[in-house]
Amino acid sequence: MKRAVVIGSGAGGLASAVLLAKRGWAVTVLEQHTRAGGFLHRFFRGGVGYDTGFHYIGSADKGQLVWRILGHLGVRDRLTVRSLDTEGFDRIRFPGLEFRVPVGVDRFAERLVSTFPHEAVGIARYIELHKAAAAAYGWYNLQLDLPVEEVLRVEGMSLRSVLNDCFQDERIRGIIAGQSALYGVPPRDAPFGVHAIVTDHFMQSAMTIEGGGDRLALELVRELRGLGGTIQFRARAERIEVQDGVAVAVHARVAGPSPGPSPGERSEGRTIRHEADLIIANAHPKHVLDLLPDGATRPAYRERVRDALPGRAHIGIYMRVRGDLSALASSNLYRFTSFSEDAIETPASPESVPFWFLTAPGMRDAAKPGQGAGGNVVLALIQGDWKQASACADDVGVPGDPARYQTPEYAEWKAALLARALEAFRADSPDWEILSAEASTPLTTWRYTGSPEGATYGHYHSVAQMGRCRLPIKVRVKNLLQVGHAVGFPGICGAMMTAYAAIGEIIGAEQLVTELKEVQ
């Protein structure tokens, strides 16, 4: 039986593990945290779940790509998936204007025209470009024979250039640019192709999962175990062993329950060598490079990865709120304090919060929205800054280890930023009584996921770093493949597509496409 080791249990890692286990591989997943899922997972306070990153899922209606993927992975029938408001699953709010994004690209176009009739010609042009860009991607459309030149073209043009070509009104540019928060790149740098594919899959269908992303991760783990696979928690990969250019094992430090040298003592962990015929790294290529021995990859590749910019980081704010939350039961809110297209790149500070995103996945955990255990839990995301956060810490530590950054200066900075954010939320929703609130920072993200500089989506998916400069799934080291946001697109759909592309390198991509098309 062939053996596979998967480093990391995010959506890409778990999907890869299940795909291999279904084909008879002996699969071991190594996860440095105590819970699977990466940003899919929830943490709990008093029995109430708080989502760390999941807010909704796209293209999950019958016949659509994520619907097919979840069915193919064997977990769809164990998930309760419900539609958000088809007339406005995302609300994009500016001073004096709120725009509701409906399901359906053509309906989106109609609403834009009804709101901005003077931009009708530009809207038609924009929608034409959007559809062409979304149609360029092979895995997204399950058509692997599409010309790569078209992908390079749509990833070589910026969202800003398209907006400037199509529109005069700053308000419509602000609305379309507003959803760039979904992948964390401002319009001047964002590849139009990335914007098109990310927004398109949500406009196909915007759904919620009962139990949030945590439920999806738990069901993928359950499926993996049912197929004979295993997952080891608190197991941090320390190095990938390479022999004659072939990856042959992962050495992982396992923390915790091993006994110490004397009665009553506990060791700091032990290192275990996991032999493998295939290693899947669901980690940023920067981290993978650190795991490899010197000389395993070409100098040019090492330089390219080392120089790659990490994506934007965020501050997560987890609140329990008393007040009218009915709108968040079926939609998400993007709140901008100006029409600036680049608002998402301005970090929040104790002085100002220029943008925030609000969602309430816990409210959607019952058939009647708002009646679940997390019915008054709201997740807010605001723009974070690694430099601000790390400047307050003496030592950012190592991912998976106990936090070393909890200095008085860090606590003071975090408390001031949280207070400013709550002030902004109360001003925007004066009926809210915020009962409790706590925050995570880029340092928290770094500790729990290992993402460079606490980046939400790992990689900075910019024009300069996509197209021909995209980080690869397949590297020079044989039997080593990379999956996840950094080598694909942000979001669950993007991460899972990288899993199919990677496993397609092993068993044949066309075979997987055929199987996905046959999913009922």
pLDDT digits (tens, 9 = 90+) for 131-169: 999 999 999 999 999 999 999 999 999 999 999 999 999
Task: Answer positive or negative: Cα dihedral of 169, 171, 176, 177.
Answer: positive
Interatomic CA distance for residues 69 and 496, integer angstroms: 8
Provide CB contacts within 8 A for 177, sequence distance 6+.
159, 160, 163, 186, 187, 341
**pTM for the predicted model, two decimal places:** 0.93
Domain range list for the chain:
3-80+211-308+471-517, 90-209+310-454
Mean pLDDT of the chain: 92
CATH class of 90-209+310-454: alpha beta
CA distance 177 to 195: 9
Cα–Cα nearest to 451, from 357, 343, 311, 328: 311
pLDDT on residue 393: 79
Please determine, for residue 390, whether its predicted confidence score (pLDDT) is greater than 90: no
Amino acid at the residue 147: P
Between CA 348 and CA 355, with CA 349 as vertex, the angle to 5 degrees is 25
Residues 323-347 have a mean pLDDT of 89
d(CA 417, CA 401): 25
Distance CA 250, CA 238 (A): 8
**Is the predicted pLDDT of residue 361 greater than 70, yes or no?**
yes
Per residue in 255-289, pLDDT tens? 865 443 333 333 457 999 999 999 999 999 999 99
* Per-residue tokens: 480: 């080593």
Q: How far apart are CA 211 and CA 219, in angstroms?
A: 11
In our burial notation (b when 16+ CB lie closer than 10 A, e otherwise), range 421-439 reads bbebbeeebeebebeebeb
pLDDT value of residue 402: 60
For domain 3-80+211-308+471-517, the CATH architecture is 3-Layer(bba) Sandwich (3.50)
Q: Which of 362, 278, 364 lies closest to 319, judged by CA?
A: 362
Helices 159-166 and 192-204: crossing angle in degrees, nearest 10, is 80
